[in-house]
Structure 1
Amino acid sequence: MTERELIKKAQAGHNSALNQLLLDNYSILKGYLIKLTLQKELAEDLTQETLLKAVTKIQDYEPRGKFSTWLIVIGKNLYFDYLRKNKNLRNYEEYDSVEKNRVGNQEASAEDHVISGLTFEKMRETLGTLSREKRSVFILKHYYGYSYKEIAEIEQCPIGTIRSRLHNSIEDIRRVMEEEGLDGF
């Protein structure tokens, strides 16, 4: 059964279809939230909250993209709500004020070069140095392969902003590599 068929059945009240949708997307959601929050326990809590919200809001879902995209939007929003409530969201006001900046086609090869030069553990540490906005965009693009359009939908901002955040995250990672003397930088 396709994802669209499962969605229609879930919206018609078939619990088995809804369960299958959630199971199919659980690891993507949890992995994203672990990488975004950098805290396993918090990510697990947010994953559960996201799934609960998806169950209660399945009737509101309009299948324009992947179901996982919708779950990630819910999870990201719950995370930012959590941070606001706990006054831990550094630079939240800057979330929507990143300058729009078009980046040329050279970006992909530069990104691949930067990413390949880091070990998993070093990459995890480096991701922790990025702002939440940059980290989210980087994870969605390079760990999950989302398109710019899909990321813009998740982040609820223009594609130009996504390109800018991705470019800036790569520059930040490159700086860390240079400081660490990694990969010939």
Structure 2
Amino acid sequence: MDASVDDDATLMLAYARGNTAAFDTLYARHRGALYRFLLRTARDPQLAEELFQETWSRVIASRTRYAPQAKFTTWLLQIAHNLLIDHHRRKRPVATGEEAERVFEHTAAQEHEQPEHVLSDFERRRRLQMAIEQLPDEQRTAVLLRLENDLSVEEIAEVTGVGRETAKSRLRYAMNRLREQLAE
């Protein structure tokens, strides 16, 4: 395990004692992954931004109650996931594939690659993204937590608030579905 992951809890505890530089380090380390998770699960850039800000607000508000029982990343993603679930309960969002398209528009080709390779890589990423978009919400969340945040089945279960076997099942069904769609 990366040493930087191990010291996230130490940084959070230091922040709880008033060390704002520790928070800055945590924020810099985790903002990208958190925003990507929210953008891809919410499928709405404006909502993702709102939830991103609210997640960090919750981290700040609960700094004195923080207890390193799980990895900081797991705790952070659990807060974000719970906020997303709360939003879904209040208002079911209308999902379109346009947001996913915009995510990949920002992927620039490396100068050294041949155009036909860039196109095929782009097409593969696009097909995977579109296949992920078509998954049911619970399966999509499990896949994104696994692929983008490299969480274990146990951590996915913790973030989503379900049992280990349920998380494992969602991940298995999602991966099978993705394999089928990408094989077509």
Q: What interval of TM-score do these two structures reach, taking the shorter chain for normalisation?
A: 0.7 to 0.9
| Cα offset, 1:167, TM superposition | 0.9
Within 5 Å, give how 1:155-174 maps onto structure 2: 155-174=160-179
Aligned residues: 152
Runs of 4+ in structure 1 deviating by more than 4 angstroms, as ranges, are: none
Structure-2 residue corresponding to 1:135: 140
Q: Secondary structure at the match of 1:172?
A: helix
- Once residues 89 and 162 of structure 2 are traced to their aligned partners in structure 1, the CA distance between those partners, rounded to angstroms, is 19
Pick the aligned partner of 1:22 from 5, 24, 27. Answer: 27
Q: Secondary structure at the match of 1:139?
A: helix
- Once residues 179 and 22 of structure 2 are traced to their aligned partners in structure 1, the CA distance between those partners, rounded to angstroms, is 44
Structure-1 residue corresponding to 2:99: none
| Cα offset, 1:169, TM superposition | 0.5
Pick the aligned partner of 1:83 from 70, 82, 88. Answer: 88
TM-score (norm 1): 0.74
Structure 2 residues not aligned, in runs of 5+: 95-120
Which residue identity does 1:144 align to in structure 2? N
Structure-2 residue corresponding to 1:48: 53
Q: Secondary structure at the match of 1:55?
A: helix
Pick the aligned partner of 1:4 from 3, 9, 16. Answer: 9
- Once residues 161 and 85 of structure 2 are traced to their aligned partners in structure 1, the CA distance between those partners, rounded to angstroms, is 13
Do residues 67 (structure 1) and 66 (structure 2) align?
A: no
Do residues 149 (structure 1) and 154 (structure 2) align?
A: yes
- Once residues 17 and 4 of structure 1 are traced to their aligned partners in structure 2, the CA distance between those partners, rounded to angstroms, is 10
Conservation of the 8 A alpha-carbon contact between 2:33 and 2:148: no
The percent identity for this pair of structures is 26
Within 5 Å, give how 1:102-113 maps onto structure 2: none
- Once residues 143 and 16 of structure 2 are traced to their aligned partners in structure 1, the CA distance between those partners, rounded to angstroms, is 32
Conservation of the 8 A alpha-carbon contact between 1:141 and 1:147: yes
Structure-2 residue corresponding to 1:100: none
TM-score (norm 2): 0.75
**Residues 100-132 of structure 1: per-residue CA shift (max 9 Å, x gap):** xxxxxxxxxxxxxxxx9x711111111111111
| Cα offset, 1:88, TM superposition | 4.3
Conservation of the 8 A alpha-carbon contact between 1:29 and 1:72: yes
Do residues 124 (structure 1) and 129 (structure 2) align?
A: yes
Structure 1 residues not aligned, in runs of 5+: 90-115
**Residues 15-34 of structure 1: per-residue CA shift (max 9 Å, x gap):** 22122212211111111111
